[in-house]
Structure 1
Amino acid sequence: MFPNQITAKTLVIIMALGSLASCKEQPKANIDFLSLSEQEKRNPEYALAAMEVEEGLNLELFASEPMVTNPTNMAIDAKGRIWVCEAKNYRLFANPDNTYDDSGDRILILEDTNGDGKADTSKVFYQGEDINAALGIAVLGNKVIVSVSPKVFIFTDENGDDLPDSKEILFQGIEGVDHDHGVHAFVFGPDGRLYFNFGNNGKQLLDKNGEVVLDMHGQEIVGNGQHYREGMAFRMNMDGTNLEVLGHNFRNPYEIAIDSYGGLWQSDNDDDGNRGTRINYVMEYGNYGYRDLLSGASWRERRTGWHNDIPKRHWHLNDPGTVPNLLQTGSGSPCGILVYEDKMLPQKFQNQPIHAEPGHNVVRAYIIGESEAGYTAKIENLVKSKDDWFRPDDVTTAPDGSLFISDWYDGGVGGHKAEDIARGRIYRLSTGSDYKVADIDPKTEEGAVKGLLSGNMDLFYQSWQKLHSMGEAAQPFLTELREKGGIAKARALWLGLHIPTKSNDYIELALLDEDPKFRMQGIRMARFKGKESLEKYLSLLENDKSPQVRREAAIALRFIGTEAAAELWANLAVQHNTGDRWYLEALGIGADKFPELYFKAWRNKVGENWKSEAGKEIVWRIRAKESVPMLVSLIKDQTVLPTKLASYFRALDFKDHPNKDNYLMEMLGWNHPLKSQIQAYAIGQMDAKFVYSSPKHIKMVKEVLPKIEGTPEWIMAIKNLELKNQNEALFRVLANGSNTDIGKEAANLLLNNNGATLIDTFLHSQEPESSKIAVLERLNGISNPTAVALLKENIGSQDLGHALTRKMIETLGNTGAGQEELYQMLKEDRLAEDYKTTAVLKLMTSWNNEIRTNAPKFLSSQEDGALDISKLVELRGNASHGKEVYSTYCSSCHMAAGNGIEFGPELSDIGNKLSKQFLYSNIIYPSAGINFGFEGYSFRMNDGKTYTGYILSRTEDEITIKMMGGTQKTLELQDISEQESLEQSLMTEGLAHIMPEEDLVDLVAYLETLKVAREEQ
């Protein structure tokens, strides 16, 4: 037994707890839920009253508090027992009101012993601090795999007493400790391998000895951009060997789901508030675009040709080499997902992904359709709740085919904060109330044949292992299963692949099947077998009538790199249809390891026909050197559409060619209908060393600059080439430009070039006040000492009027250096009473503890005493007035319904995501629940300057941060002397204590109205 094994006495079945659960008042489904008080809504007996359930299905409350609390993930064993990871100790440092349990979190086994559909017994399988806030559990026979960053454990119960006899480390070193973006659950696939994923805070995999894990191709599993970025999806053998990265550059995929044919599906969460949540079909080895693939930059950082729509811009979908999304669902907090391959639920849900979406209080299915080489999806709800505390975070199939749903049950959806640690629920969705598990023994041949068809992972796993162990003796049973068709046939083919003497026969059976699903499976089976015969197998399908089959064939060529493989790839490429992005990206994935060889084979095959629309797309995507002059010729084409130009230039970023800069320089002199646009894109991409290597180059660039003034590329050129003497133009763009982001960048450059006098003259001119305020808006977050001095001097003079002075105080308070000056003005009583509230609101966001703590003391109206959230939630506010309160207190840092500044998380859908109680909690205690990606940092520079903000991106040489006011700043690592992580939120701490209670209630009422309809894109 290992050191923190808890005693057998603790692990006995808690019959008293079971009795409590069975005798308590049963859930009431015929109650008007919305008429209940906020406290009544929290009671388990009213849980079903809030539910809207798909017709023909029955929802029962299987278990609730106190039997289970804070469930994060589930597994169901072959006996039908529910294994639950609890997270009572979830991020307690951010939830100071919750009590730490030093016994650690638990893995529970819940059981319904009398078949009435309700748990009546509970036992503890394991408890310990080493599994605090585990996010994944898989039960596979006597093995239990628990995912809890920084480790993945394998517990083994050798004697079947529901106590672990050993605990081994499978992986460690995974970052994201006590964090939602770490490692998630493991899944057993029909091919006999394990699948899992981690979010963008996982960063790496180390083995049990602390060594960096190498994938089967010898590449380190580290998300530093050398091979892989951000979140990843993995596949490996049961013993951890032959690990593959199946996809990377996700943000936070909570789970991965695999269907019986080998298709992979998962969800992914956006940066909070940007309505970019998505569902992915995981095209193997693809890049999924959370960060810039080349630089690792945030999606917020400007790039050529980005999408105007932020949800699409978010995933770099304009970049060659980004796999398209199956579906974008708008806002949300996607969690557990599976492919339902059982029979109890209605037919429309069978063989479809089913997903827990706590952000919208719903469990839903994605009904998949085909679209050329890709897919479409339509949402169908199974369970939707009126209770905004219903937070379904996992779905699991039981041996009888019913669907179990775990409910975190909280005012929020994780994301660093728990409103409550005393509640949690498990539901069962079925066609009846009784829960009877069929008596199937997977250790027998007959039982294994039946169990292999189950949607329950453990029963399927045990059955798979039994048939696998039989070798050739299993063939009669596999033949019987193949004749059934569907998933029975698919699973039998996978098992046949594992019979060494028969594997080729089973591969050919699949490849020659009339159904394209089996032909795709056959390609995956052939890849499993190895590269030796792969070209022979793929030659059978290179002209397949199904673009989805050809998609899989293209991907399968990725690691071969022979002349024959290049010919196969070329044959697949000539069958590409214009606009089929799925097929195009499959071709790219297949060619990325050998782009020169594969592209040359295609070029030889198509000849001058490469200029077809489909051929142009292949030139755009494939990263062969030969494609660069071809892409240049497409740009030079006199009939090229303006919408294509940005896309072509963006593609050049991903291509390497010794003459690329010369090509760009030549473009400056072209006589072309789109000359100005071409010049702008070309000059924005030029390398500084190349430009300054020749006086002729410098002269050409300077001649073009005035013609592209105010464009993003103009800004990029001034930055990259460090051009001086552009102050007059920079001020024109600052004062008159239509693009706010470009105006801010121009302001920063102007101040760095000693152009503050132009701004000061303008502020004291006869120009309209609205124009001056617009200029001040663009100075937000700029911590240049000249800007700080300019603002301080004008605030002190008080000769610019009330509105301008107030705006200057807000602007000054958006930087660390400015806050220090503003605080000094408060201390020296150099601010009029009318301006003190504005100043204090800004200073309460300071990273400096003295400033943050003492600033409110300068308000005579400050009130002491704690706010009672339980009383506040029962009050009804005025949303119309709340909108005005929002403009006063919140809009300088948040966007909502198009109003405000994009610094903190966007609030346009906050009413969907957070309950009323959670809204109050986040306003009153903002540091308790800082959204991931918005953690604050202070950077002290070698020259003494200090910058405060959150990190947008990090490269080997620099960090880009976003500061108060929405301004971005790039800091060279060599110039940073100290970096400090801030414990408090960048949001105003104590805001609720300086506004009247009526304003607070009205503000929450307004925030509750901020709900964006789901977007299917």
Structure 2
Amino acid sequence: MASRPIPLAVLLLCSLIAQAPGLAIAEDPRPPLEPAEAQGLFRVDSGLKVELAAAEPLVIDPVEIAFDERGRMWVVEMRDYPNGPPDGGEPLGRIKVLEDVDRDGVYDKATVFADGLLFANGLIPWRDGAIVTMAPSIVFLRDTDGDGKADARETLYQGFATGNVQLRVSHPTLGLDGWLYVGNGLRGGNVVAADAKGEPIDLSGKDLRFDPTRGLAEAVSGPAQYGLTFDAWGNRFVCENRHHLRHVVFPEQAARRNPRLAVRDVLQDVPVDGEGGRVFPISKYWVTSSLHAGQFTACCGVLIYGGDALPAPYRGAGFTCEPTGNLVHAEVLEPDGATFRSRPMREGVEFLASTDPWFRPVNLTVGPDGALYVVDMYRAVIEHPEWMPEELKNRPDLRLGDDRGRIWRIVPEASKPADPGRSLIAPDADKLALLGHPNSWHRDVARRLLKQDPEKLPVDRLAPLVVGDGEGLARVQAAWLLEGAGKLTDDQVVALLDADSPRVREQAALLAGSRLVANEAIRSRVVALAGDADPRVRFQSALALGAWNDAGKVEPLTTIALEGAGDRWTRLAVASALPDHAADVFAKVLDRLRDQPADPDRIALVEELAALVGAGKEPEETAKAVAALDALDGPSTDAWRLAALDGLSEGVARTRITFGRFLETTPGPTAEAIRRMLARASAVASDPSADAPSRLAAVRLLAFAAYEEAEPALTGLLLNDPDEAIRVAAARSLGNLGRPEAADRLIEHWRSYLPAVRRAAADALLRDGARIARLLDAIEQGKVLPGDLDAAQAQRLLASADPTIKERAGKLLSRPGGRREAIAAYRPAVAAAGDVARGRAVFEANCATCHRVADVGVDVGPDIADTRVRTREALLDDILDPNRAIDGNYVAYAVATSDGAVYDGVIAAQTSSSLTLKSPDGKTEILLRSAIDEIRSTGQSLMPEGFEEKITVQQMADLLTFLKDWRYQDGSVPLGR
């Protein structure tokens, strides 16, 4: 729910905290307000008003609410936040059911449904109780005797991670498809059904969906932290601390089915400003990272509003809570290819904000009245102590507000007081008639009531609804209900594929995937959707065609690829559908592009299709693709060939064989054609008039050309080209030529390299044992100095699994001494005067390959700009003893591949088919799991010990001063010291 920001009013709490190093002395914080007072401090969009729906003592520490068909509000109370019950004490979490007895719009009766719950954080009413998320489990709490209290508990799934309470499984939400989805909280887990049937489900980088009526569960793309929502058409959106609205675009099933495919990511940051978009609080608040000031840092409770009470512009908008800024943000969504883009509803002004620093919105939902409900935990401190500096972890205000909590309702200003009873769903109501209701609450609850009792599902009434020409949402929901019960027929799917509505056709294509192989009528319609005017329909058509292993899919996939070349998700969908026939689609695409200009989108398409061919290692496919390349004769021939060969080489590299070996095993005519094209790469690489992307592609390709041709060209570029990107690429390609002499060439010119080129050259020399041996020889001979290697590169040698390399490196680079002695030796830097400008230079030279501060460096390691409440002593400890405490997301891994290469970095992303490593300098490597021999955690940070050997005590003082005071140099932030 929250990340690192801390409100100023409570940060400067009392004399204890005020005397902490670096913090200002302040008076006691602003006291909490009664609900009526707090209500008067809201600023909400014009034409709307904020009403109180519930408050303490009826609700305490609410974190999620849900309304059942009777209009009762179910509330999850996290009364143990943040540190849990006292040692030996009972958990304080509970679930209450609130009722508005007098129908005045304010809830006035509360019944404790269940208590003694440890960090329960989400629920959905289900049958005679509720399904509740409370890591490590998902449980079904039942009221079997109708007295309003849970008297039976059934564990459905277990094995979810139980770390920080903000990072746990949450938000059980019924999808349009009839599955219940939960966010994994970013920490994953190996989840099993309580009956232990089936294999454990690995949720690393994924979320979970399950069907309680069928006993099914599987991993799905994600992950969500604390926020998960669907729009009316089943698009799933999630959020995490600094990402306030993310669309889950690419399905895990598609990522899994093509072993050739390396999937970089599955989520789209929908807002145009991406990560950490701007927010405009009206309260006084402060964040520990000045880089994040005025940005999202604690996104949670994301909701796509589907109610009917707010005016039309809000329907379908995305809302996100930002509790540290005491606000709720709104975004307007627009279709963009297979996904969406969004912009703030009002520039510079938040949808809902308060000057009360205790206002802590953590969740949102739509009520029976169509209003937007805001869950307000109402706490002085929302940040978890885990993210606080050591000196503040035991601050006395952590639980202030643990006797309070509010639920607010936002409605049009002209609305009459709410009557929650007017919109209820009676036991005898026609639930099918509600599937097309304009209020999402009615649709969702009606669908849940039909879903949770499959034996009473009115199949005979649902079937006509599917094939009729009625409201699209009703047709689609009826179809998914039948599908979940195993009652949907092929003829009904055909009727949906023929629908006028593109949204219905999109859902129909999703339903068709498992049927098109056996049913020609379905198949022909999915093929026809390749020419659909709607990009999301084409996207879903490509995914559906992936189930069909037949040459008949080549033409429609070619059409989709060319029409959607500008949409990376459509290109990815096409690629996922080509575990076979990749060369056929590649050849057809090239033929149609023959006379077209080589714009970046089409270049990307050609590269990606060629990579599939290369990863397949099938001689016939390679021959077909190369023949198509060789036959090109249009104005952009060089660009297409370079792009294709670049992609082909990348695909071959995924299989962990060298391109040279690939050429040796490729039939003669095909290999000869490739060599002719590679020879042309030398001319393009050296041509300063060629466009930059083509030159870079050509330089990369020279790594696969004949050594006698490539070495002189690469050496010339390495030493003489004015473009640093070309020189860096030349160093990498020269190192990858695979001949011992190539390593010698890199070392021969070592002294002429600027830092970026030197780092690239060192990386190239660290790729395998033979090159490492030559590097160590050069260090022994003084051609390369130990200090020429950055700290991470030196650590790779010192931690080598090869005992010979490890021993030699230990002697040449000198292993760091004990941390305690190093810290003691540099302790004078804490009190010494430092200089910000000199410290910036120290940072840029030694730290910028992994960290970013003051617009210097890259974000690979943790954000070390979060330093205002970090003491100089604590920073010194962090720098000289980096492995003392490591965030699990930043532990370094060593990945060995089947070709003998070893890659180091932090795991940035992972799917069923690939792993993405991020290493110093921000470089990423995407590795196919099929080519990975070993993944080994180093148990350490990417930042090695021994930093003191790089700088003096005075330079350390300068560095500490820069880290503490860089943000104050423009005078915009008071020092407060």
TM-score tier by shorter-chain length is: 0.5 to 0.7
2:541 equivalent to 1:559? no
Task: Report the counterpart of residue 934 of structure 1 in structure 2.
Answer: 890
What is the CA-CA distance between 1:267 and the residue it aligns to?
A: 1.7
Which letter maps to 1:778? A
What is the CA-CA distance between 1:264 and the residue it aligns to?
A: 4.0
Instruction: Specify which of 355, 362, 374 is matched with residue 393 of structure 1.
Output: 362
Task: Report the counterpart of residue 404 of structure 1 in structure 2.
Answer: 375
- Hey, what's the Cα distance between the residues in 1 that align with 2:218 and 2:779? 55
Does the 8 Å contact 2:42/2:353 carry over to 1? yes
Task: Report the counterpart of residue 422 of structure 1 in structure 2.
Answer: 399
- Hey, what's the Cα distance between the residues in 1 that align with 2:248 and 2:860? 32
Deviation string 1:964-992 (CA, Å, 9 cap, x unpaired) is 45566899999869744237976999999
Deviation string 1:941-976 (CA, Å, 9 cap, x unpaired) is 999999864235779999775444556689999986
- Hey, what's the Cα distance between the residues in 1 that align with 2:141 and 2:405? 24
2:492 equivalent to 1:537? yes
Which letter maps to 1:83? V
Task: Report the counterpart of residue 330 of structure 1 in structure 2.
Answer: 275
Which letter maps to 2:637? K
- Hey, what's the Cα distance between the residues in 1 that align with 2:749 and 2:368? 74
SS at structure 2 position matched to 1:336: strand
- Hey, what's the Cα distance between the residues in 1 that align with 2:824 and 2:739? 36
Task: Report the counterpart of residue 775 of structure 1 in structure 2.
Answer: 757
Task: Report the counterpart of residue 550 of structure 1 in structure 2.
Answer: 505
Instruction: Specify which of 319, 325, 341 is matched with residue 354 of structure 1.
Output: 319
Equivalences for 1:684-703 in 2 at 5 Å?
684=646, 685=648, 687=652, 688=659, 690-693=662-665, 694=667, 700-703=673-676
Task: Report the counterpart of residue 621 of structure 2 in structure 1.
Answer: 660
Which letter maps to 1:57? K
Task: Report the counterpart of residue 53 of structure 1 in structure 2.
Answer: 44
Task: Report the counterpart of residue 537 of structure 2 in structure 1.
Answer: 583
Task: Report the counterpart of residue 708 of structure 1 in structure 2.
Answer: 681
SS at structure 2 position matched to 1:146: strand
2:718 equivalent to 1:753? no
2:433 equivalent to 1:503? no
Instruction: Specify which of 567, 570, 575 is matched with residue 524 of structure 2.
Output: 570
Specify whether residues 729 and 915 from structure 1 end up closer, same or farther in structure 2 by C-alpha distance, changes over 3 A only: same
- Hey, what's the Cα distance between the residues in 1 that align with 2:457 and 2:124? 32
Instruction: Specify which of 858, 873, 893 is matched with residue 850 of structure 2.
Output: 893
Specify whether residues 118 and 760 from structure 1 end up closer, same or farther in structure 2 by C-alpha distance, changes over 3 A only: farther
2:159 equivalent to 1:170? no
- Hey, what's the Cα distance between the residues in 2 that align with 1:552 and 1:294? 26
What is the CA-CA distance between 1:212 and the residue it aligns to?
A: 3.0
Which letter maps to 1:330? E
Equivalences for 1:126-205 in 2 at 5 Å?
126-127=115-116, 131=118, 134-138=120-124, 140=126, 143-158=129-144, 165-175=151-161, 177-178=163-164, 183-188=169-174, 194-198=180-184, 201-202=187-188, 204-205=190-191
Instruction: Specify which of 807, 821, 845 is matched with residue 854 of structure 1.
Output: 821
SS at structure 1 position matched to 2:889: coil
2:236 equivalent to 1:265? yes
Does the 8 Å contact 1:952/1:961 carry over to 2? yes
What is the CA-CA distance between 1:548 and the residue it aligns to?
A: 1.7
Does the 8 Å contact 1:938/1:949 carry over to 2? yes
Does the 8 Å contact 2:303/2:320 carry over to 1? yes
Unpaired segments ≥5 residues, structure 1: 1-35, 93-98, 214-219, 224-228, 300-313, 318-323, 441-446, 453-462, 468-473, 798-804, 831-838, 868-876, 1011-1017
Deviation string 1:587-614 (CA, Å, 9 cap, x unpaired) is 02222212528638969xxxx9999958
Specify whether residues 897 and 787 from structure 1 end up closer, same or farther in structure 2 by C-alpha distance, changes over 3 A only: farther
Which letter maps to 1:661? T
Equivalences for 1:1003-1014 in 2 at 5 Å?
1003-1005=966-968
- Hey, what's the Cα distance between the residues in 2 that align with 1:559 and 1:542? 14
- Hey, what's the Cα distance between the residues in 1 that align with 2:306 and 2:900? 62
SS at structure 2 position matched to 1:982: strand
Does the 8 Å contact 1:482/1:492 carry over to 2? no
Task: Report the counterpart of residue 596 of structure 1 in structure 2.
Answer: 550
- Hey, what's the Cα distance between the residues in 2 that align with 1:489 and 1:74? 16
- Hey, what's the Cα distance between the residues in 2 that align with 1:375 and 1:958? 25
Does the 8 Å contact 1:85/1:107 carry over to 2? yes
State the percentage of identical aligned residues: 15
Instruction: Specify which of 195, 200, 215 is matched with residue 241 of structure 1.
Output: 215
Specify whether residues 696 and 794 from structure 1 end up closer, same or farther in structure 2 by C-alpha distance, changes over 3 A only: same
- Hey, what's the Cα distance between the residues in 1 that align with 2:143 and 2:380? 31
Equivalences for 1:82-481 in 2 at 5 Å?
82-86=75-79, 88=81, 101=87, 103=89, 105-109=91-95, 125-127=114-116, 131=118, 134-138=120-124, 140=126, 143-158=129-144, 165-175=151-161, 177-178=163-164, 183-188=169-174, 194-198=180-184, 201-202=187-188, 204-212=190-198, 221-222=201-202, 230-237=205-212, 239=213, 241-243=215-217, 248-252=220-224, 254-258=226-230, 263-269=234-240, 278-280=245-247, 294=259, 299=264, 315=266, 329-331=274-276, 332=296, 334-340=299-305, 342=307, 348-349=313-314, 352-357=317-322, 362-368=327-333, 377-380=342-345, 381-384=350-353, 392-397=361-366, 401=371, 402-406=373-377, 421-423=398-400, 426-430=405-409, 450-452=423-425, 467=427, 474=428, 477-478=430-431
Specify whether residues 172 and 511 from structure 1 end up closer, same or farther in structure 2 by C-alpha distance, changes over 3 A only: same
What is the CA-CA distance between 1:586 and the residue it aligns to?
A: 1.0
SS at structure 2 position matched to 1:642: coil
- Relative to the length of structure 1, the TM-score reads 0.66
Unpaired segments ≥5 residues, structure 2: 1-23, 277-295, 653-658, 686-694, 767-771
Deviation string 1:774-813 (CA, Å, 9 cap, x unpaired) is 433435666545446646865998xxxxxxx9x7375687
SS at structure 1 position matched to 2:516: coil
SS at structure 2 position matched to 1:936: strand
Specify whether residues 854 and 583 from structure 1 end up closer, same or farther in structure 2 by C-alpha distance, changes over 3 A only: farther
What is the CA-CA distance between 1:1009 and the residue it aligns to?
A: 8.4
Specify whether residues 743 and 951 from structure 1 end up closer, same or farther in structure 2 by C-alpha distance, changes over 3 A only: farther
Name the count of aligned residue pairs: 844
Specify whether residues 478 and 1008 from structure 1 end up closer, same or farther in structure 2 by C-alpha distance, changes over 3 A only: farther
SS at structure 2 position matched to 1:356: strand
- Relative to the length of structure 2, the TM-score reads 0.68
Instruction: Specify which of 802, 808, 829 is matched with residue 788 of structure 2.
Output: 808
Does the 8 Å contact 2:183/2:208 carry over to 1? yes
- Hey, what's the Cα distance between the residues in 2 that align with 1:395 and 1:892? 40
Which letter maps to 1:429? W
- Hey, what's the Cα distance between the residues in 1 that align with 2:358 and 2:157? 34
Which letter maps to 1:666? A
- Hey, what's the Cα distance between the residues in 2 that align with 1:993 and 1:387? 41
Instruction: Specify which of 780, 795, 817 is matched with residue 797 of structure 2.
Output: 817
Task: Report the counterpart of residue 604 of structure 2 in structure 1.
Answer: 646
Does the 8 Å contact 1:372/1:548 carry over to 2? no
Does the 8 Å contact 1:340/1:352 carry over to 2? yes
Specify whether residues 372 and 386 from structure 1 end up closer, same or farther in structure 2 by C-alpha distance, changes over 3 A only: same
Calculate the aligned-residue CA RMSD, in Å. 6.1
- Hey, what's the Cα distance between the residues in 1 that align with 2:40 and 2:73? 26
More deviation in 630-639 or 46-55? 46-55
Specify whether residues 582 and 107 from structure 1 end up closer, same or farther in structure 2 by C-alpha distance, changes over 3 A only: same
Which letter maps to 2:375? F
Which letter maps to 1:355? T
- Hey, what's the Cα distance between the residues in 2 that align with 1:613 and 1:530? 35
Does the 8 Å contact 1:175/1:182 carry over to 2? yes
Does the 8 Å contact 1:558/1:591 carry over to 2? yes
Does the 8 Å contact 2:233/2:503 carry over to 1? no
SS at structure 2 position matched to 1:891: coil
What is the CA-CA distance between 1:647 and the residue it aligns to?
A: 0.4
Does the 8 Å contact 1:155/1:164 carry over to 2? yes
- Hey, what's the Cα distance between the residues in 2 that align with 1:501 and 1:73? 29
Which letter maps to 2:328? V
What is the CA-CA distance between 1:559 and the residue it aligns to?
A: 1.1
SS at structure 2 position matched to 1:933: helix
What is the CA-CA distance between 1:405 and the residue it aligns to?
A: 3.3
Task: Report the counterpart of residue 290 of structure 2 in structure 1.
Answer: none
